[in-house]
Every structure is written in structure tokens, then in C-alpha cells.
Amino acid sequence: MAFNYSQELEELLQRYIDEQGSGERIKPQLRPLLQRVSAEFRHRQFMEIRGVKRGSYMMTVMHEAIRTNDCETLRWMMEGWTSKQIFTATIVRDNNGSTALHNAAYFGQTPIVRLLLERLTWDQRFSLVQSKDGYGETVLHRAVAGISKDTSQLIYASLEPDQQAKILLEKNRNGQCVKDLEHYQDCLPPQVCNQCSAKLETESKRLMAVMNQKLTALQQNNSQQLQAALQQQQACFEKTLMMREKEMQERVEELQTDNYKRAQELIQKVKELQKENCQNSQVLVNRLIEFENKIQHEKTQTNQKLTSEQMFQKHLKDLAEQERVTTKKSGLLEADLLKWQNKVTQRVENIEKEMSRIGQKLNQLAIYLRTPQDCDASGDQEVEDYH
């Protein structure tokens, strides 16, 4: 059944919070829907729906109902709620840290305060009244600050005697308790405070007497129990100590026997080690002598090698000098050879030129020496070809 009306109820509740002054117009539609859905569903809707009003104020349905003094809608909304559901809905705070009960107390809305407190347990009431807003003020602080006499007395009377004394001593951020407020005498008459003080004193005396009796009984019981426990612990400790001493004595004897055996074994090992060390020392001396002889032999060989290397280096220097002289002579010989080669080449060229010139003269002479009678056709042709 709740599912069919959930969306419509949610929209109406959201409008109830957000649209300023629309409560009376929405109430006729809101009441039948609230009666049709279950108390659990109404509580869930109340906890989920929030509105933004007058700037950054986060409002709930309860805050808006208290702002407009709409006790009727609040009663419809809370019908069938358990004390726990009422407490969780009332403890919700706005952006100033104020619960709905803070606002109702300040505005002096006694019927709404009675509606919120009458179905709560003593502890839930005290927790709500003791809760502080953003300025560190309790619900009773706000009621006295709003000069709401009936509301202040109702809030005060809804608490137990010890809770009344505690709430009067709660301080706000400025360090003021309810008694320090300006209109405290107007809201809570002096006899209320005197009655509270008398109750507190009587209760304190009673509690102190009970505590003293319990403390005395506890001290006596504790003394007897402590003495018995100490005696028992002392006996156990002595018994344990004796057993430990016996065990330690046996252990010491075992250790002494073991230590004597180990000492004998160590002495024997030391003697063996000394003997081995003497033998090892002689072996080491022989090895050192051999090593020194080897070093001397290698030193001699090294000196011989160094002498041979020095002679070899001297021979290399002589060879390098000879090679340098030979290279120099070779250069001179190559230069002379090149000069003679150029001269021979020039001489050969001159000879070839001279031979060419002589050949030409011989050819000319042969031509002149020939006569026409000696020449046949072939010869003439050769002469012509020659010419």
C-alpha cells in the first residue's frame, strides 16, 4: 500500500519543506497520504527527505513544522512511531547544529515539546535535552533564552532529579550555565532551584552513604581476600623456591662434573695442539728457507735477464744507428742514380734524334744516287710513294 503513494507523499513532503508558507495549503493533501502509509515508511521518508530553506539552512519536516508551529502535521507524521524512531528523528540537526527540540524550546511551543518528549524514555529525554547546538547551548538554554516559562518548566520537569541538577550545571560556549542566563528567574522560579538543590544534596548524601558502606565492605572483603591470597601465594612461592633451589643445586653439580670433564679434554687438546704447533713450526721454517732460496735464485736469474736485456737494447741501438746511416747513404745513392738516369735518358734522346737525322740524310742520298735507267716501274712507284 505504501508503494502506491510513495512518490506522491515524497513530493508533498519536499514541497512542505521547500515552499515557504505552503504548509496550510498542502496539509489537506498530506494528511490522507500519511494515514494510508505505515509508520515505518513515514519514518524512513522523514529520515531521507531534506530541504534547503532560507539560504543554506538544511531543514527537515520536523524543523519546518516547528517553524510554522504545525503540531497537527507533526502528530500525523509521528503516529505509530516507537520511542527509538522519535529519538532518531528529533536528534537530526540543521546547519546551525540545532535539533527540532532546540527550536521548539526557543519559540515556546509547549505542545510540540510535550509531543516530542512524552513518549521517550528517561535516558532518551536527557540525551535530547543535554544535546548542544552550534553555540554549545542545551535545549534548556534555548528555552530560557526565549523566555518560555511553560516550556522551560516542562523540559525541566520531564527529567529525573539527578538529571535536573546536571542539566542546570551544563555550560555553553561562553561558559554560562542555565543559572547564569538573564531570564532564568522568570522561567524557572527560585523554589525550583532550591528544591533541586535539596534533592541533589539528599541524593548526594544517600549516594555517599551507600558508597561508603560499599567501600567499607569492599575494603574488608578485599583485606581478607588479599591476606588469604597473599598467604597462599607465599606458600606457593616458598614451595616453588625450594624446588628451584634443589633443581639449581643438582644443575650446579652436573655443571661442575661437565666442566671438569671439559677441562680435562681441553688440556689434552691444548697439549696435542702444542705438539702439532711445534711440528708445524719446523715445517714452516723449512718452507721459509726453501722459499728464500727460490727467491735468491729467481733474483739471480732476474739480474742475468736484466743484463742480457741491456746488451740486447744496446745491440738494438747499434742496429738502429746503422740503419739510419744506411738509410742516409741509400738516399744519396738514389739521388745520384736519379741524376745519372736523367743524364742517360737525355743522352739516349739525343742519340735517337741524331740517328733519325742521319737516317733522313741517308734516304735523301739514296734517292739522289739512283738514275732513271735503273728504276723500273715498281721502283718509280716506290720513289713516288717515298716522296
| Residue 178, Cβ density class (10 Å: 0-12 exposed, 13-18 middle, ≥19 buried) | buried
Give Cα 293 distance to the centre of its chain.
70
Give the DSSP letter string of 278-320: HHHHHHHHHHHHHHHHHHHHHHHHHHHHHHHHHHHHHHHHHHH
Question: One-letter amino acid identity for 36?
Answer: R
Query: Residue 366: its pLDDT value, please?
Result: 82
What the chain holds in terms of domains, given with CATH numbers, is 2-189 (1.25.40.20)
Tens of pLDDT, residue by residue over 341-383, are: 888 888 888 888 888 888 888 888 888 887 554 445 544 554 4
CB 172 within 8 A of CB 141: yes
CB 162 within 8 A of CB 122: no
Tens of pLDDT, residue by residue over 69-100, are: 889 888 988 999 999 999 999 998 888 888 99
CB 127 within 8 A of CB 166: no
Reported confidence tier of residue 2, pLDDT bands at 50, 70, 90: very low
Q: Give all strands (DSSP E) within 126-201, no chain letters.
A: none
d(CA 65, CA 74): 6
Query: Does position 113 have pLDDT exceeding 90, yes or no?
Result: yes
d(CA 195, CA 265): 95
Reported confidence tier of residue 217, pLDDT bands at 50, 70, 90: confident
Query: Residue 126: its pLDDT value, please?
Result: 92
CB 167 within 8 A of CB 126: yes
Reported confidence tier of residue 57, pLDDT bands at 50, 70, 90: low
d(CA 160, CA 126): 9
d(CA 189, CA 186): 6
Cell numbers standing for residue 203: 541524593
Tens of pLDDT, residue by residue over 225-235, are: 777 877 887 78
